C-alpha cells in the first residue's frame, strides 16, 4: 500500500507546531467584560444564576475595572440598576444616574480602559420593556427621543462607545444625530444590530432586574428562524452610522455571525450571553465538562466565525488562562 502523499498529522505532532500553524488566534484583546452596577457602597452581590458574576456598587465596579485592565482586557460594558423605576426611566439620562456615576469613576481610576454603555430602557422602566408605552403600544419615535438623551448623558460622563440594544427602528441614526448635536462627534456607536428574541437571556434578566412586567419582546427582537433579515438589520445600521455591529446571542447564531462578517467590513462583535455562560458553569460545577477547555473552544469559535470582539462573562478567566500560555 503506498504511503499517503500528505500527512496532515505532521503539523499536529507537538504544541509548538500546533501553535505555529494555528489559523485563529485568541487573546485578551478580543474581550469586553460586562459589569452590572447598583447603588450603594461596598456592594458585591453574586447573581444566583451566574456564578462568579456580581451586582457591584460603583466602588466595587472600579476595583473590578482595575482587575480587568490588569489582565489585558481592553474594555467593559456597563449595565445599570436604578434606584427607582418609572414609565420613562428618568434615571437613565440623569447626570447622577448609576451608570453616569460609574463611567466617571472608572474613567478617573483606569483612564486607559475603554468604557462602553448599554443603552436601553428595559432596566429603568417600571414595565420592563425597551420602549416608551403609549396606550399600551410601543411608541418607537418617543423611544428614540429618550435614547438621544441617554447617550448624550453617557458621553458627557466620559463613555467611549454607546451600545443601543433595544432593536428600536432608526435607533442608530437618532443616536448619532443626538451625539453630534451635543458636541460628541467622537463618541462611537456599537449597535446591537442583530438581536434575537432568545431563551438564552434568562440569567441576565435576574442580573439586571429587567424582565418585562407583561408580554414578551418578540414584537421588536428578531425571530430566531430568520437569517436574511439579519443582513437587512445590519445594513440599515451601517447606513445610519454605526461604528461597530453586534450579533446576539452567540453560540446558536454562528451562521448569522458568519453571514454578517462576509457582508460588512465594520468591526463585528458577538455577545456570549448569560444563558450560554450559565450552562457551561453548571456543567462544570457538576464535573460534566472541562470548563477551561470548553470556554476557550467556545470563544475561539466566535473568532473563527468572524467576530473581532467578544462580550463575555468568561473574560477574566479566559484572559488568565491565555496569559498563562
Annotated binding site for 5-aminolevulinate: 205, 217, 274, 313
Helices (H), the chain: 15-20, 58-70, 98-109, 140-157, 171-181, 202-208, 228-240, 254-263, 274-285, 291-305, 315-324
195 annotated active-site? yes
Query: Active site residue: 195, 281, 303, 316, which one?
Result: 195
The dihedrals phi and psi of 160, each to the nearest 5 degrees, come to -85, -40
**How far, rounded to the nearest angstrom, does the alpha carbon of residue 233 sit from its chain's CA centroid?**
17
* Residue numbers belonging to the annotated binding site: 120, 122, 130, 205, 217, 233, 274, 313
- Residue ranges for the known binding site for Zn(2+) are 120, 122, 130
Q: Which three cell numbers stand for residue 268?
A: 463585528
Active site residue 108: no
Which one of 248, 281, 303, 316 is the catalytic residue? Answer: 248
Using DSSP bridges, classify how beta strands 50-56 and 44-47 pair: parallel, antiparallel or unpaired: antiparallel
- Alpha-carbon dihedral sign for residues 152, 70, 291, 255: positive
Q: What is the DSSP track for 118-162?
A: EE-STTTBTT--SSEEETTEEEHHHHHHHHHHHHHHHHHHT-SEE
Annotated binding-site ranges for Mg(2+): 233
How crowded is the C-beta side of 122, counted as CA atoms within 13 Å? 24
Please, what is the angle between helix 171-181 and helix 228-240, to 10°?
20
Q: Hey, which residues are catalytic here?
A: 195, 248
Amino acid at each position: 500500500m503506498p504511503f499517503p502523499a500528505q500527512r496532515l498529522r505532521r503539523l499536529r505532532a507537538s504544541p509548538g507546531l500546533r501553535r505555529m500553524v494555528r489559523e485563529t488566534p485568541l487573546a485578551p484583546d478580543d474581550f469586553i467584560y460586562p459589569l452590572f452596577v447598583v447603588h450603594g457602597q461596598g456592594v458585591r452581590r453574586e447573581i444566583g444564576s451566574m456564578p462568579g458574576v456580581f451586582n457591584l456598587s460603583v466602588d466595587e465596579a472600579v476595583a473590578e475595572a482595575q482587575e480587568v485592565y490588569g489582565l489585558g482586557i481592553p474594555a467593559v460594558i456597563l449595565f445599570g440598576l436604578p434606584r427607582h423605576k418609572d414609565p420613562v426611566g428618568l434615571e437613565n439620562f440623569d447626570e447622577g444616574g448609576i451608570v453616569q456615576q460609574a463611567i466617571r469613576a472608572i474613567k478617573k481610576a483606569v483612564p486607559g480602559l475603554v468604557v462602553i454603555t448599554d443603552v436601553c430602557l428595559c432596566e429603568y422602566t417600571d414595565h420592563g420593556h425597551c420602549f416608551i408605552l403609549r396606550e399600551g403600544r410601543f411608541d418607537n419615535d418617543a423611544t428614540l427621543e429618550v435614547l438621544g438623551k441617554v447617550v448624550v448623558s453617557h458621553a458627557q460622563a466620559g463613555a467611549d462607545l454607546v451600545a443601543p440594544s433595544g432593536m428600536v427602528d432608526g435607533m442608530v441614526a437618532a443616536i448619532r444625530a443626538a451625539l453630534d448635536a451635543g458636541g460628541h462627534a467622537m463618541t462611537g456607536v456599537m449597535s446591537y444590530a442583530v438581536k434575537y428574541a432568545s431563551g438564552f437571556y434568562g440569567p441576565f434578566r435576574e442580573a439586571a432586574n429587567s424582565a418585562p412586567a407583561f408580554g414578551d419582546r418578540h414584537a421588536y427582537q428578531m425571530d430566531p428562524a430568520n437569517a436574511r433579515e439579519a443582513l437587512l438589520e445590519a445594513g440599515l445600521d451601517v447606513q445610519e452610522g454605526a461604528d461597530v455591529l453586534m450579533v446576539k446571542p452567540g453560540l446558536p447564531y454562528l451562521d448569522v455571525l458568519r453571514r454578517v462578517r462576509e457582508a460588512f467590513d465594520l468591526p463585528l462583535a458577538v455577545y456570549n450571553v448569560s444563558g450560554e455562560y450559565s450552562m457551561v458553569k453548571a456543567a462544570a460545577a457538576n464535573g460534566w465538562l472541562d470548563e477551561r477547555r470548553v470556554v476557550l473552544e467556545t470563544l475561539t469559535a466566535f473568532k473563527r466565525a468572524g467576530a473581532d470582539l467578544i462580550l463575555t462573562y468568561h473574560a477574566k478567566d479566559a484572559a488568565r488562562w491565555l496569559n498563562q500560555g
